[in-house]
């Protein structure tokens, strides 16, 4: 981390949670409205059943599952920024760790919610628990998501303990009303040497544990597809392909969040251009890696052009899904690479634009992984209504999907309102160590 | 003037075309009713009805046609049954018990099928003249060679006499299709009404006891219709299908999950959650330390 030359008092003052300003209120209200519309659409789905969606016999996984895969993907960033960098003793990422962790937690929460939405009747989730088969990858996914959620929560909570002590002592509009919560969560933290030792050890254990669990969560998600014999999914490449894509979208999400928090909370002294520069290099590396897997995933089947895969690939490359496919490839990978490959492109504003492109491209990429395959089964579709040959989500599906994305952003927003989004204690400690 | 005549000619031509087209449109297509006699295993005979229509040089099955089937003459007393053709244009009528006494006495008979006119089709009928016949099958094992002898006999007065020159199929019945027992597709009966086929399907998988089903039959024979006989023989290789229904497999029910999977999944879950429980205990430890300490350490 760069030498900050800021007094601990000023760091604390700068990084304490702040009350929402006018823009913050509008932002939160907008998210609440989107969540409300999503909730209304979900109530309609509960009332009338999955019939309100555009999903039918063939496209039984629509944007709900695309959204689920997107959420699981973006949640992986917690393990990358926090665990991998911490274990590699990379200190410049300290201001980004909590951003990454809250993105991970909020994304994994909404991944779980959206999968229940996709089930139609929510009690089916209970049946999954009671009657679930351990042979099913869906069961593995449920187990691994629950595990990853708990680990991510612990990884968010344990490094927060020293900051809770600071928050308890702090006075101000931003923290006063949450004192009871801070007391409940961390009044026992006294900063004792033994406490610090146990905490540091626990965080290290968590960092080691979260990496295989994070790899499992997205590998298992990829197996939901790859264990099914269908064009476009019948691939041994899927685990690595999904993981690389997940790291890319997660890193892109962190870049966007970095820029927004930096701007909203005036954190220029803490999230510096150096952070954008380094994150830019990481995103380029991840984008190139994901591009490599994409080439493998599409070029090899296209070279062989097996008959059952032909319709699916043609639809992607030059058919109905071609605009979306090339949009996802260009906007999600090629253009961000072109922007961030150069130093000027790794400045905050171009980085923010590239980060948004990566995230948007990644969402549509998940849609392209899920839907076109379902429209091209190995056995041709005969004697089915014309509507079964196409899929375009109903307004209820859009509302629920957008509502879930808004919900994830709302969790992050509320977290940043209540807790410091950059670790205060760690920043002070690292500055002190740097000064020495 | 010449031009005017040409126009008149053209108009007359068009009028003729329109009238002929209208006449053609009003004509109902001719329904074809075919009758086929069947006797399986010398038990209760039945009649198969097929209703078709010829459109653009192609025969199209006609479903939903009600057909009356008569034995001998087209009168209510000889009615065998009424059938409505299915989506393949096919219907089957079994001989009722009421015609048994008549049936036992005849050696030649005629089957008549009639359908009444409806909105789409004119009335139609079809018939088939049949000589009553039966087929039997016997197995012979000489000099290490297995043979099947099918015998066809036709009824003549009160006697059953050998039926020569009848083309028969001698086959093995399989799950989906049939398999010829030897090299030839069909075998023709000799003057004694017998057709002999050498059994060349050695090691043909049978049931658990090695039973296979031999079938001898005539197909759409002009005189005898479709008569067939089935006989099980122990000439197949015993085959016990691999039944994993009650075993631990990846596709079994939840209580039949493979042990290795339970062990693997269980180990991973126990391993990771042990770490989580350990960390939860560490948090309790941190909490305990903080509660025990009464001093406040300066940050």
Sort out which chain B residues have CB atoms less than 8 A from A133's CB and list them: 253-254, 257
Helix (H, G, I), strand (E, B) or coil at B151: strand
Distance CA A84, CA A90 (A): 9
Instruction: Give φ, ψ of B239 to 5 degrees.
Output: -130, 120
> Under DSSP, is residue B135 helix (H, G, I), strand (E, B) or coil?
strand
Could you say which architecture CATH assigns to the domain A8-435?
Up-down Bundle (1.20)
pLDDT above 70 for A370: yes
Between CA A221 and CA A76 the distance in angstroms is: 12
Q: CB distance A158–B278 less than 8 Å?
A: no
pLDDT for res B228: 95
Is residue A191 within 8 angstroms of chain B, CB to CB? yes
Please tell me the predicted confidence (pLDDT) of residue B4: 54
- Give, to the nearest 10 degrees, the angle between helix B259-292 and helix A193-226: 160
Task: Categorize the per-residue pLDDT at A8 as very low, low, confident or very high, splitting at 50, 70 and 90.
Answer: confident
Q: Flag if B276 and A154 touch (Cβ within 8 Å).
A: yes
Residue B258 to chain A, least CA–CA distance (Å): 8
Average pLDDT over residues A206-232: 91
Residues of A in contact with B290 (CB under 8 A): 187-190, 192, 195
pLDDT at A435: 67
Three-class secondary structure of residue B153 per DSSP: strand
Q: Tens of pLDDT along A234-293?
A: 888 899 999 999 999 999 999 999 999 999 999 999 999 999 999 999 999 999 999 999
- CB-CB: which of A131, A169, A189 is closest to B254? A131
- Give the model's pLDDT for residue A1: 47
pLDDT at residue B120 in the model: 86
pLDDT tens digits for A140-179?
989 999 999 999 999 999 999 999 999 998 888 888 889 9
> Minimal CA–CA distance to B214: which of B198, B226, B225?
B198
CA-based nearest distance B207→chain A, Å = 32
A199 inside 8 A of chain B by CB: yes
pLDDT digits (tens, 9 = 90+) for A34-77: 999 999 999 999 999 999 999 988 999 999 999 999 999 999 88
Q: Which of A161, A187, A198 sits opposite B285 (nearest CB)?
A: A198
Which pLDDT value is given to residue B22? 52
What are B39-44's contacts with CB under 8 Å, separation 24+?
A: B39/B133, B39/B134, B39/B225, B39/B226, B39/B227, B39/B228, B40/B227, B40/B228, B40/B229, B40/B230, B41/B228, B41/B229, B41/B230, B42/B134, B42/B135, B42/B136, B42/B227, B42/B229, B44/B94, B44/B95
Question: Which ipTM was obtained for this model?
Answer: 0.88
Chain A CB contacts of B281 below 8 Å: none
Minimal C-alpha gap between B287 and chain A (Å): 5
| Rounded CA separation B218/B225 (Å) | 7
- Rounded-to-10 torsion of CA A404, A391, A329, A285: 40
Domain ranges of chain A: 8-435
Contact A205 B278 (CB under 8 A): yes
**Does the pLDDT value for residue A299 go beyond 80?**
yes
pLDDT for the residue numbered A418: 94
Model confidence pLDDT, tens digit, residues B69-120: 999 888 888 899 999 999 999 999 999 998 888 888 889 999 999 999 888 8
Best B282, B284, B291 residue to mutate vs chain A (most A CBs within 10 Å) = B282
- The Cα B57–Cα B61 span in angstroms is 13
Q: Which of A151, A162, A169 sits opposite B276 (nearest CB)?
A: A151
A 359-398: CB under 8 A from B? none
How far is residue B114's CA from residue B35's CA, in Å, rounded to a whole number? 10
Query: How many angstroms separate the CA atoms of A147 and A261, rounded?
Result: 29
Q: How far is CA B107 from the centre of its chain?
A: 30
Q: Are B272 and A147 in contact (CB < 8 Å)?
A: yes
* Residue numbers in A near B293 (CB within 8 A): 190, 192
Nearest to B32 by CA among B152, B123, B155, B144: B123
> What tens-digit pLDDT sequence spans chain B (299 residues)?
555 566 666 666 666 665 555 555 557 788 999 999 999 998 899 999 999 998 888 899 999 999 999 998 888 888 999 999 999 999 999 999 988 888 888 899 999 999 998 888 889 999 999 999 999 999 998 888 999 999 999 999 889 999 999 999 999 998 888 898 988 999 999 999 999 999 988 888 999 899 999 999 999 999 999 999 999 999 999 988 888 788 899 888 889 999 999 999 999 999 999 999 999 999 999 999 998 877 654 44
For chain B, the residues whose C-beta falls within 8 A of a C-beta of chain A are: 250-254, 257-258, 261-262, 265, 268-269, 272-273, 275-276, 278-279, 282-283, 285-291, 293, 295-297, 299
* CB A250, CB A77: distance < 8 Å: yes
**Nearest Cβ partner of B261 from A135, A150, A191?**
A135
């Amino acid at each position: 981390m760069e030498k900050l030359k800021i007094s601990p008092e000023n760091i604390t003052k700068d990084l304490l949670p702040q009350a929402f300003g006018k823009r913050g209120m509008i932002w939160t209200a907008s998210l609440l409205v989107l969540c409300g519309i999503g909730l209304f659409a979900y109530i309609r789905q509960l009332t009338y059943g999955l019939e309100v969606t555009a999903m039918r016999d063939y496209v039984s996984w629509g944007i709900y599952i695309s959204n689920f895969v997107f959420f699981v993907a973006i949640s992986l960033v917690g393990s990358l920024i926090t665990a991998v960098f911490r274990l590699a003793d990379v200190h410049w990422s300290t201001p980004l760790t909590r951003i990454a962790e809250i993105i991970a937690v909020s994304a994994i929460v909404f991944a779980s919610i959206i999968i229940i939405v996709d089930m139609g009747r929510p009690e089916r989730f209970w049946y999954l628990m009671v009657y679930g088969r351990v042979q099913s990858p869906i069961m593995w996914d449920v187990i691994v998501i629950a595990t990853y959620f708990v680990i991510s929560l612990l990884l968010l909570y344990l490094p927060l303990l020293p900051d809770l002590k600071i928050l308890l002592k702090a006075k101000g509009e931003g923290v006063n009303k949450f004192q009871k919560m801070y007391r409940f969560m961390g009044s026992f933290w006294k900063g004792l040497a033994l406490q610090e030792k146990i905490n540091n050890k626990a965080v290290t254990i968590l960092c080691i544990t979260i990496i295989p669990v994070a790899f499992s969560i997205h590998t298992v998600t990829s197996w939901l597809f790859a264990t099914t014999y269908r064009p476009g999914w019948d691939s041994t490449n899927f685990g690595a392909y999904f993981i690389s894509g997940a790291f890319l979208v997660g890193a892109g999400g962190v870049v966007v969040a970095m820029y927004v928090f930096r701007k909203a909370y005036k954190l220029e002294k803490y999230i510096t251009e150096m952070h954008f520069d380094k994150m830019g290099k990481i995103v380029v590396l991840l984008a190139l890696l994901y591009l490599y897997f994409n080439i493998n995933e599409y070029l090899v089947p296209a070279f062989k052009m097996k008959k059952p895969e032909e319709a699916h690939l043609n639809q992607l490359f030059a058919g109905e899904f071609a605009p979306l496919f090339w949009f996802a490839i260009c906007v999600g990978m090629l253009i961000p690479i072109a922007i961030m490959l150069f130093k000027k492109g790794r400045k905050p504003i171009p980085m923010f634009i590239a980060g948004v492109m990566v995230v948007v491209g990644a969402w549509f990429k998940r849609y392209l992984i899920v839907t076109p395959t379902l429209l091209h089964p190995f056995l041709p579709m005969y004697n089915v209504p014309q509507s079964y040959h196409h899929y375009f989500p109903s307004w209820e599906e859009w509302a629920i999907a957008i509502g879930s994305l808004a919900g994830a952003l709302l969790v992050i927003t509320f977290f940043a309102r209540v807790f410091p989004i950059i670790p205060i204690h760690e920043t002070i400690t690292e500055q002190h160590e740097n000064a020495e | 003037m010449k031009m005017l005549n040409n126009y008149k000619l053209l108009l007359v031509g068009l009028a003729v075309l329109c009238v002929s087209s209208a006449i053609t449109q009003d004509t109902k297509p001719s329904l074809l009713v075919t009758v086929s006699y069947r006797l399986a295993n010398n038990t209760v005979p039945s009649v198969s009805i097929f209703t078709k229509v010829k459109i653009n040089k192609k025969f199209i099955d006609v479903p939903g046609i009600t057909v009356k089937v008569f034995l001998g003459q087209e009168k209510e007393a000889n009615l065998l049954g009424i059938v409505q053709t299915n989506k393949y244009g096919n219907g089957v009528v079994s001989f009722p018990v009421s015609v048994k006494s008549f049936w036992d006495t005849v050696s030649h008979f005629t089957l008549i099928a009639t359908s009444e006119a409806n909105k789409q089709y004119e009335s139609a009928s079809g018939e088939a003249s049949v000589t009553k016949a039966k087929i039997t099958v016997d197995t012979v094992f000489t000099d290490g060679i297995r043979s099947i002898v099918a015998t066809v006999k036709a009824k003549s007065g009160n006697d059953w006499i050998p039926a020569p020159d009848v083309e028969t199929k001698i086959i093995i019945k399989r799950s989906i299709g049939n398999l010829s027992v030897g090299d030839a597709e069909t075998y023709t009966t000799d003057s004694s009404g017998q057709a002999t086929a050498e059994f060349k399907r050695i090691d043909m998988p049978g049931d658990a006891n090695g039973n296979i089903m031999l079938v001898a039959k005539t197909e759409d024979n002009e005189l005898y219709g479709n008569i067939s006989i089935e006989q099980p023989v122990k000439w197949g290789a015993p085959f016990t299908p691999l039944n994993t229904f009650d075993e631990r497999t990846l596709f079994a029910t939840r209580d039949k999950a493979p042990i290795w999977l339970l062990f693997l999944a269980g180990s991973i879950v126990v391993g990771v959650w042990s770490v989580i429980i350990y960390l939860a205990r560490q948090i309790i430890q941190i909490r305990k330390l903080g509660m025990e300490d009464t001093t406040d350490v300066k940050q």
